Amino acid sequence: MHDSKQFMFLSANNLATTFATSRPIWYRKFRTSRSIILFISSRAAQHSSKSMSLACALAGGPAAFKDVFVDSRHDPPLPLPKKDHSGGDGDGDALTSNPMTGQRLYQGTWVIEGWIPGIVQIQNGGGFTPRRGDVILASPPKCGTTWLKALAFATMARGAHPPAAPDHPLLRHTPHDCVPFMEVIVSGGWGSKLDALPSPRLLSTHMPYSTLPASITKNPDCKIVYICRDPKDMVVSMWHFLRHPRPNLSFNDMFELTCEGRSLCGPFWDHILGYWNAGKTMSGDEGQPEMTSAAVLFLRYEEMIKDPANNVRKLARFVGQPFSAAEEETKVVDDIVDLCSFEKLSSLKVNKAGPVVFTKYPRESFFRRGGVGDWMNHMTPEMAHRFDALLQSKFHGSGLDLL
């Protein structure tokens, strides 16, 4: 059975309880028909990843990357860093290292060395080919990436995976295993897997806008959703995250690195302004979209914390999947917000044990606090004043106020 936009499926495990709900009769019948389809497709997927891809494509939503291609028992390790990289800016900056954080400077941005081969390959047109309907989630590290991945996946995949389903992919996989980082996957030699994903594809990146290839930034068929947060909170979150591999990293050192523009994927001000300015230039003289480049939706973490439901609606409209009146009536938006809440995700066993696919970072390191204002527990008044002055200097005249 169809709605006006797409197929919508429900897990067969929920078939019996569907009739016991208080939903309208049309809705119960609707969900039941989807149960049968998903049951069949999921059984077929046990034997063929192509079957899973087809099922998700028919459902009108993205497939969870790990559901389709990766057996968790055989996750390949992250490639070892290489000593030399092609594709630098001609000044040898790809070889400038930051031993404190294990990064290298590539085209003006500090990145994990193991990512550089993938970034170079993507820039050169290999490992990833953009296509119509692609949605790319972009962010500086530690700015709400995990939450955005969960919300975007639950929103876009609600046809194949209703958010209230007991076997939803986000209950079985960490959000990073549902929505992969392009540069990490391509660096690992799995770029062909990205090309094999069904449309619409939901992917992510920490790459600055300036390092994205024109095949993405000048592509009117691609959409970019960007999230940033109060940079002072970003510093604190980054410090806690990097202490997993580098327990001796002090907060003072992390603060100084950030102020110098040497934090992960920094300078952070260039990262934020790149996407902010790209979003600002999407309007023509009369405020109409100019279909000459990828559209950019700019989100603020603090605003999403205050009003997650309306930000989910904004996200859905942007990706071309607005919620129908029937979905609003049956509280689908609320179901998505509940499924993706920090309390829900951080309590799941899948987000506590083992590393994120293709990385050595523990899953639990991506779930620490889920709030705002933690910088007040770490920065002295002098540090906060210095950082605010830096923000005023870097963002002056941009129209973006992060204070």
DSSP for 64-116 reads PHHHHH--GGGPPPPPPPPS--S---SSSGGGEEETTTTEEEETTEEEEGGGH
Contact 316, 323 (CB under 8 A): yes
Rounded distance between C-alpha atoms, residue 312 and residue 2, angstroms: 23
Catalytic residues, by residue number, are: 206
Which of 103, 140, 136, 132 has the alpha carbon at shortest distance from 122?
136
State the Cα–Cα distance between residues 302 and 369, nearest whole angstrom.
Answer: 14
> CA neighbours within 13 Å on the CB side: how many for 16?
1
Bridge partners of 295, per DSSP, are: 223
Bridge pairing between strands 223-228 and 109-112:
unpaired
Asked whether 319 and 328 are in contact (CB, 8 A), the reply is no
Task: Give φ, ψ of 123 to 5 degrees.
Answer: -65, -35
Order across the sheet with 96-98: list the strands: 96-98, 103-106, 109-112
Measured between alpha carbons, how far is 170 from 174 in angstroms, rounded to an integer? Answer: 6
Give the helix/strand (H/E) hosting 27: helix 25-45
Q: How far apart are CA 379 and CA 385, in angstroms?
A: 10
Tell me how far apart the alpha carbons of residues 133 and 272 are, in angstroms, rounded to a whole number.
24
Query: Sign of the C-alpha dihedral, residues 64, 65, 67, 68?
Result: positive
Query: What length does the chain have?
Result: 403
- DSSP H or E run through 258: helix 251-259
Beta strands in 168-305 (DSSP E): 202-205, 223-228, 295-300
How many other C-beta atoms are found inside a 10 Å radius of the C-beta of residue 176?
A: 25
